[in-house]
Amino acid sequence: MYKILSKKPLNKTVTQMEIEAPLVAVKAKAGQFVILRVDENGERIPLTVAGRDVSRGAVKIIFQIVGATTAALDAKSAGEYITDFVGPLGVPTHVDGISKACVVGGGVGCAIAMPIAQELKRLGANVTSVVGFRNKDLVILQDEFRACSDKLVTVTDDGSYGEKGNVTLPLKQMLDGGERFDRVIAIGPLVMMKYVVATVKPYGIPVTVSMNPVMIDGTGMCGGCRLTLVRDGKRTTKFACVDGPDFDGYEVDFDEATARGKMYCDFERAAHDRACNLFKNAGGAQ
């Protein structure tokens, strides 16, 4: 059993927790993830390590309430326990040798982008962060990004916070103005990452994307997180859990990945609705 040390809502649909898991905390690196179960009958879900405190044995996770399991996790309070917390899993984000980086985060993907930006800054890199949200009510982690960024640009679709537009607009403005980066790292919705790659491609800058699809066992055995990479016209299958979650953005077949991701939308929505009804009937909804 793993104790919930703290719980903090970041907005109406995103929650931050610290989990007591000292063996995970001592080894976790930026870009890696854990797989957890809320209870012994629960499904396994992957969540990226959003931070760690080795002295306290604490691992930070940030999650959006979108399905039955995240609803069940959000129903837990500090001092309660979850059943499983396995990790760190996946390959850490490659940050060595980068002196100037642009980290692009979209929505709850900023929870993954933030520790990468923090690690780049810790290693002495010049970090530009571009983060985007639909509106001001969904903005998260601004203080954290300011602390680890030499330059921070925040955009919202409706202009209610920061600049109006999507993340590709300030990114293209910087590139058109002569700004150059050793690497662009994009993390967020698939469509966002697809267009970040398209924006950067004419400038020949390497782009890393973080692919976080459905994962079940985290060991590459189930095939749930497979994706297709295309290199020199040849298509190969990789698994986000063991080969990633980071990949060369120019090689990812985003259209196929998007189609696969949509397969589970109706199921997750129905499961979420059932879970919410159960919590309400039990008097556990917040």
pLDDT tens per residue across span 7-34: 999 999 999 999 999 999 999 999 999 9
Indicate if the pLDDT at residue 144 is higher than 90. yes
The CATH number given to 93-209 is 3.40.50.80
Token duo for residue 129: 């962060």
Tell me the Cα Rg of the chain: 18
Q: Which residue has the higher pLDDT, 144 or 256?
A: 144
Q: Distance between CA atoms of 222 and 13, rounded to whole angstroms?
A: 29
> How large a percentage of the chain has pLDDT more than 70?
90
Q: Which residue has the higher pLDDT, 68 or 156?
A: 156
List 229's β-bridge partners, or say none: 236, 252
Token duo for residue 286: 């917040």
Per-residue pLDDT at 212: 77
Angstrom CA distances, 211 to 18, 73, 90, 185, stand at 23, 22, 11, 12
Tens digits of per-residue pLDDT, 177-195?
999 999 999 999 999 999 9
**Which residues in the chain are classed under CATH 3.40.50.80?**
93-209
Token duo for residue 199: 């924006």
The CATH number given to 2-90+266-281 is 2.40.30.10
Per-residue pLDDT at 32: 94
Exposure of 276 by Cβ count < 10 A (0-12 exposed, 13-18 middle, 19+ buried)?
A: middle
Token duo for residue 209: 């994307």
Indicate if the pLDDT at residue 59 is higher than 90. yes
**Of 199, 254, 197, 202, the residue nearest 230 (C-alpha):** 254
**Which residues in the chain are classed under CATH 2.40.30.10?**
2-90+266-281
pLDDT band at 265 (very low <50, low <70, confident <90, very high): low
What average pLDDT score do residues 198-210 get?
95
Q: Which residue has the higher pLDDT, 273 or 154?
A: 154
What average pLDDT score do residues 101-107 get?
96
Tens digits of per-residue pLDDT, 219-252?
777 777 888 999 988 999 998 888 989 999 999 9
pLDDT band at 286 (very low <50, low <70, confident <90, very high): very low
**Of 7, 2, 20, the residue nearest 78 (C-alpha):** 7
